[in-house]
Amino acid sequence: MVSSSSPPRESPEDNLPQSKTSLFAAFGHAIRGVRKLVVGERNARVHAALTVGVIALSALLRISLTQWCLIALACCLVWIAEAANTALERLADAVHPERHPLIGEAKDIAAGGVLIAAGIAIAIGLLVFVPELLDLIAKNESSPA
Ligand SMILES: Nc1ncnc2c1ncn2[C@@H]1O[C@H](COP(=O)(O)OP(=O)(O)OP(=O)(O)O)[C@@H](O)[C@H]1O
């Protein structure tokens, strides 16, 4: 017979840590993460320079709203992959500083994700910018000197 004074059964959710972080503080942590990514990672600084260059080229070529959306998504894809790669590298180094084949594999896979994202971003950039640049060249050639 079950005693009526037995404690209530715990649900799996009861074991989860209760987050006391306010939305405002969480936003601050995220901004700190972006700063650490851009300041501390050489690859992220390269992405930052490329992002600025791509935005400048897009503005110069006066691309359409749809093209802006595609370029923005392509840039975001690379930034998200780079952030995930950096986070995984730091986590792996903290949890297991010694060399381990699985850590190596995990880092290689994360780096592969960045490579795939960068490849797709380059393809989108070519699809958007090459026709625009060809158009600009054709207009310049056809205009009277
Ligand atoms: N702890 C480890 N155990 C086994 N192999 C590792 C380990 N750390 C790194 N490696 C191998 O060395 C490669 C480079 O790892 P590293 O942490 O130096 O990244 P990285 O080249 O600095 O990358 P990023 O430029 O993105 O920071 C990994 O992809 C992995 O193949």
Residue 105: which CATH number?
1.10.287.3610
Instruction: Name the residue range of residue 113's domain.
Output: 64-145
Distance 14 CA to ligand 1 centre (A): 37
As for the ipTM of the complex, it is 0.90
Q: Which residues line ligand 1 (CB under 6 A)?
A: 43, 85, 89, 99-100, 103-104, 107-108, 111
Q: Does a structural domain hold residue 41?
A: no
Q: Does a structural domain hold residue 45?
A: no
In this structure, are residues 121 and 75 in contact, taking their beta carbons and an 8 Å threshold? yes
Q: Does a structural domain hold residue 102?
A: yes
Q: Calculate ∠ Cα 114-131-77, nearest 5°.
A: 20
pLDDT tens, residue by residue, 67-99: 999 999 999 999 999 999 999 999 999 999 999
Q: Does a structural domain hold residue 39?
A: no
63 by Cβ neighbours in 10 Å (0-12 / 13-18 / 19+) ranks as middle
- Give, using CA atoms, the residue closest to atom 25 of ligand 1: 43
Q: Does a structural domain hold residue 40?
A: no
Site of tokens 């009861």: 14
pLDDT tens, residue by residue, 17-76: 556 679 889 999 999 999 999 999 999 999 999 999 999 999 999 999 999 999 999 999
Number of folded domains that form the chain: 1
Query: Which of 114, 119, 124, 122 minimizes the C-alpha distance to 41?
Result: 114
